[in-house]
Structure 1
Amino acid sequence: MELDSGTADRQGDGMDSPDGQKATRMGQVAAAALVGTAIEYYDFFIYGAAAALVFGDVFFPELGTAGRLLASLSVYAVAFVARPVGAVLFGHFGDRLGRKAPLVASLSLMGFATVGVGLLPGFAVWGWWAPAVLVLLRICQGVGLAGEWTGAALLIAEHSPAEQRGRYGAFLQLGPMIGFMLAQGVFLAFTFLLDERAFLEWGWRLPFLASSVMVLVGLFVRLRIAETPLFTAQTGQVRKQPPAVEVLRSHWRSVLLGCGLIAGGFAAFYLTTTYALAYATKWLDVPSTVFLSMLLPSALAAIAATLVSARRSDASGRRRMLLVAVVAGSAWALVFFPLLETGRWPLILLALTGAMTAFGCGAGPVASYLPELFPTRVRYTAVALTYNLGGVVGGALSPLVAAKLTDAYGSAAPVGWYWAALGVLALACLWKLPETTGADLTSVR
């Protein structure tokens, strides 16, 4: 992705120098990672909003109120269970063929599955075949997303200079938040524009179908990016065993510790967004338009915290910023649901903003921290397994555990203690993990 001389001359601001060319390449790489990841997470998050608002009625109408929500969240969780499978699959090809090809494949698979959900008939037309096919499409989403974040993280980490790896990694971490805001914003717009009946019958499908256009844009951007120099440099090396086997034999400890570290972050995000949305609208009678409106400024707070913590991690260290995030998130977990249950909108907004700010503080350094833990030859597989196993523990199980606790105790307050317990687990794992700030990725063993 070198600049030609004509483009460099037109810059007129020093961009014809090697440093200027490197900065331009990094901008293009960061943009490709951000755009593609935002689109994939938009696809992933619109299912979460639909699961909380309409899927119970569309695909599980014969179950009670609690049963509909639990069934919708169970199908939601299926994608997380499928993600470790996708991690091994995309990791294998990412470590053998390069970082770029799996990114294109994952975006294509995600787009296919998302449009498929938008076209899927409901229970009234297909009976139990409808939720069965929904599960298959959700599995495709999970497999596709498994390779997305890792490939994008490596694309940035293996292109960026060591002293600015955290800064550029922040662009990747903005992708999920932008995708989340797009998903919530689109659903919010349609709930305002359509009456409840129209939204339930067909309006919810439009955000899924709109994904087809976004995926084409993402593929155009992704196909223009070059392979990472670190992978190119080690192409042709003799490999004695598949990447997954080497990871499980030689790097299992780092994978498990990394999984425990980020599980708390996954739980914080999905309890704050997916489960809290369902709980507030179904049990607390908070209008969905109000809650979705509150999620948008809280997501902006997460974006700001992500940018600050990612940049600070280059100067102060990854572990220090992660420590701040884990402690703050665990403390806030204990007040989140009591604030929510007041039913007062300013306190609900405070609960959401505080939780998302703590989440952003932890999200910032992760995109640079995980790639710095593993060697180039197995980095894709190792990071994918770490990230997606953390997603199973924190993202898949947390909403289900929360639903069970709320049903058992008649309140979501105990969910906060479960959330804080995951924070304690993250602290224990962080204590055993090394500091990696400024690591030379070519020397990681």
Structure 2
Amino acid sequence: MSSVAASEAPTTTPPVPRSRVILASLMGTTIEFYDFYIYATAAVAVFPALFFTGGNDTAKLLASMATFGAAFIARPIGSIVFGHFGDRIGRKATLVGALLTMGLATFLIGLLPTYHQVGIWAPAMLTILRFTQGLGLGGEWSGAALLATEYAQEGKRARAAMWPQLGAPFGFILANGFMLLLTTFMGFNSAKNAGELNHSFLVWGWRVPFLFSILMVLVGLYVRFKLEETPVFKQAAERNEKVKTPLAEAFKVAWWPMIQGTFIMLATYVLFYLMTAWILSFGIGKVESGGLAIPYRTFLVIQLITILLFAAMVPVSGWLADKFGRRSSQLVITAGILVFGLSFGILMNPANVGTGADANILRIIVFMAIGMALMGLTFGSMSAYLPELFPTNVRYTASGISYNVASILGAALTPYAAVWLNSHGGVGAVGFYLAGAAVLTIIFMAITHETRDVDLNTMERK
């Protein structure tokens, strides 16, 4: 049978219920981001005391943030490895592999000995497992985004694609809510107990969220095994459009869109990790280190409250992108991120906002609410915008590379750079860092075509 005939053959596979696609894409990214955020929280509140020694508090925090960044180095590699199989054998099987990789690495972190038990081997093993987490997440996002977009109804692709994006705030709420309950129940206060290595939370309590992740992974695997392959990939396979080496093909036919996609994601990533990872270290950090000295649990509550705006704005982002276009809506939102970055020195300077018991909590909540709302607006439609830049036979690989190279430029360096900038130039310097990223993103969005009306099967405009 010819490839043309094959493409015209009616399918006998019953359609997959929309609810199952939503659950599979949302569940997977929620688990992946839960795993990621558990590490981010521990990197600030736990790992500096347990896995690093010597130097001052800032030096240990920087060392911990360096292991946090190791995952971002791994993510482009993960996008290449999992992208190869995602474009060769299909989205479903590859998503199962990505989830297993991430989940097992997170579980094993919960079993690691500390520096005080095995010395330098502890941070070495922590870095390796963090790297493995990055490999899994590198393959997860693009697969989940493709699962949503390649099943989407006509004219509703951005609204369908926003479901895996909700995994980010949901995973954050699960991870940090878990940590909040644990630290409250176990009476752990980062401002008072961080150096008490015999405290039950530092002895074993911090391990519980990492170990718990294996149960979530089992649920996620069950949901994904119930899926069928996406119709867009099936049609590409029937037309014999699969390529032997998706990576080589991606660099041959889509090298420029990969660069565009990388910088389109840049400001989103910088904002994301300023508002989740760095802001926690700034909020609970000591005054002499440039922080606000707010108790860990208090600041975690602020994050958990304001991240609800992140979740609420994700579907709004999808609706805006379908109504006004990806490029137009994102240009306006990124301009808002630029202005927000310029406001850091005014809104969050310790001299203005206060520190410790004198900190103006309402002012901090307003700042966090603005950042989280912008985060939801910029993040929500990216899972449609990036995949739409690429043809089906390299879409998993190319969109994953763009997304995850952006993670190196916009996220791997961000928490580390922000700690350094704040200690040397104050919180206003951190805001200028975000504003600079927003300028680069605006430039690349301005020179990228609108993708709302692209046909994912033909990559032609309607």
- The TM-score with structure 1 as length reference comes to 0.93
Q: Give the AA of the match of 1:298.
A: T
Task: Tell me the distance in 2 between the aligned counterparts of 1:337 and 1:395.
Answer: 21
Match of 2:268 in 1: 265
Kindly indicate whether the alpha-carbon contact (under 8 Å) linking 1:95 and 1:380 is maintained by their aligned counterparts in 2: yes
Kindly indicate whether the alpha-carbon contact (under 8 Å) linking 2:243 and 2:393 is maintained by their aligned counterparts in 1: no
After TM superposition, the structure 1 stretch with the greater mean CA deviation from structure 2, 381-390 or 61-70, is: 61-70
Task: Tell me the distance in 1 between the aligned counterparts of 2:26 and 2:345.
Answer: 32
Kindly indicate whether the alpha-carbon contact (under 8 Å) linking 2:48 and 2:60 is maintained by their aligned counterparts in 1: yes
- Match runs of 1:288-299 below 5 Å: 288-299=296-307
| Cα offset, 1:239, TM superposition | 5.4
Given the alignment of the two structures, is residue 157 of structure 1 paired with residue 149 of structure 2, yes or no? yes
Match of 2:46 in 1: 54
Task: Tell me the distance in 2 between the aligned counterparts of 1:435 and 1:257.
Answer: 12
Q: Secondary structure at the match of 1:210?
A: helix
Task: Tell me the distance in 1 between the aligned counterparts of 2:201 and 2:347.
Answer: 30
| Cα offset, 1:249, TM superposition | 2.1
CA RMSD of aligned residues (A): 1.5
After TM superposition, the structure 1 stretch with the greater mean CA deviation from structure 2, 33-42 or 304-313, is: 304-313
Task: Tell me the distance in 1 between the aligned counterparts of 2:22 and 2:451.
Answer: 21
Q: Give the AA of the match of 2:386.
A: L
- Structure ranking higher in helix proportion: 1
- Match runs of 1:217-296 below 5 Å: 217-235=219-237, 237=240, 242-282=245-285, 283-296=291-304
- The TM-score with structure 2 as length reference comes to 0.89
Given the alignment of the two structures, is residue 414 of structure 1 paired with residue 422 of structure 2, yes or no? no
Task: Tell me the distance in 1 between the aligned counterparts of 2:386 and 2:283.
Answer: 34
Task: Tell me the distance in 2 between the aligned counterparts of 1:234 and 1:260.
Answer: 28
Given the alignment of the two structures, is residue 373 of structure 1 paired with residue 389 of structure 2, yes or no? yes
Match of 1:14 in 2: none
- Identical pairs, percent: 39
The structure 1 residue matched to 2:439, chosen from 418, 421, 424, is 424
Match of 1:327 in 2: 335
After superposition, the C-alpha distances for 1:355-394 in whole angstroms (9 at most, x for unaligned) are 0101111112111111111000100000000100111111
Given the alignment of the two structures, is residue 98 of structure 1 paired with residue 90 of structure 2, yes or no? yes
After superposition, the C-alpha distances for 1:134-183 in whole angstroms (9 at most, x for unaligned) are 01000100000001011010011111123111111111110111001111
Q: Give the AA of the match of 2:382.
A: V
Q: Give the AA of the match of 1:226.
A: E
Match of 2:5 in 1: none
Unaligned runs of 5+ in 2: 1-13, 189-198, 286-290, 354-358
Task: Tell me the distance in 1 between the aligned counterparts of 2:241 and 2:277.
Answer: 45
Match of 2:418 in 1: 402
Task: Tell me the distance in 1 between the aligned counterparts of 2:283 and 2:53.
Answer: 20
- Alignment CA distance shift 1:306-1:337 (3 Å): farther
- Match runs of 1:56-205 below 5 Å: 56-196=48-188, 197-205=199-207
Q: Give the AA of the match of 1:230.
A: V
After superposition, the C-alpha distances for 1:332-357 in whole angstroms (9 at most, x for unaligned) are 11223542331311011111110010
Kindly indicate whether the alpha-carbon contact (under 8 Å) linking 1:84 and 1:385 is maintained by their aligned counterparts in 2: yes
- Alignment CA distance shift 1:240-1:377 (3 Å): closer
Kindly indicate whether the alpha-carbon contact (under 8 Å) linking 2:282 and 2:292 is maintained by their aligned counterparts in 1: yes
Q: Secondary structure at the match of 2:87?
A: helix
After TM superposition, the structure 1 stretch with the greater mean CA deviation from structure 2, 39-48 or 309-318, is: 309-318
Task: Tell me the distance in 2 between the aligned counterparts of 1:37 and 1:118.
Answer: 20
After superposition, the C-alpha distances for 1:58-82 in whole angstroms (9 at most, x for unaligned) are 1003232011110010000000011
Kindly indicate whether the alpha-carbon contact (under 8 Å) linking 1:34 and 1:171 is maintained by their aligned counterparts in 2: yes
- Alignment CA distance shift 1:304-1:337 (3 Å): farther
| Cα offset, 1:52, TM superposition | 0.9
The structure 2 residue matched to 1:389, chosen from 397, 400, 405, is 405
Q: Give the AA of the match of 1:209.
A: L
- Alignment CA distance shift 1:193-1:105 (3 Å): same
Kindly indicate whether the alpha-carbon contact (under 8 Å) linking 2:87 and 2:242 is maintained by their aligned counterparts in 1: no
Kindly indicate whether the alpha-carbon contact (under 8 Å) linking 2:345 and 2:427 is maintained by their aligned counterparts in 1: yes
After TM superposition, the structure 1 stretch with the greater mean CA deviation from structure 2, 55-64 or 370-379, is: 55-64
Kindly indicate whether the alpha-carbon contact (under 8 Å) linking 1:325 and 1:359 is maintained by their aligned counterparts in 2: no
| Cα offset, 1:50, TM superposition | 0.4
Q: Give the AA of the match of 2:70.
A: V
Kindly indicate whether the alpha-carbon contact (under 8 Å) linking 1:321 and 1:361 is maintained by their aligned counterparts in 2: no
Which of structure 1's runs of 4+ aligned residues deviate more than 6 A?
none
Unaligned runs of 5+ in 1: 1-20
After superposition, the C-alpha distances for 1:231-290 in whole angstroms (9 at most, x for unaligned) are 111226265651111111221111111111111101101011110101111121111111
After superposition, the C-alpha distances for 1:68-126 in whole angstroms (9 at most, x for unaligned) are 11001000000001101111100100000000111101111111100111110110001
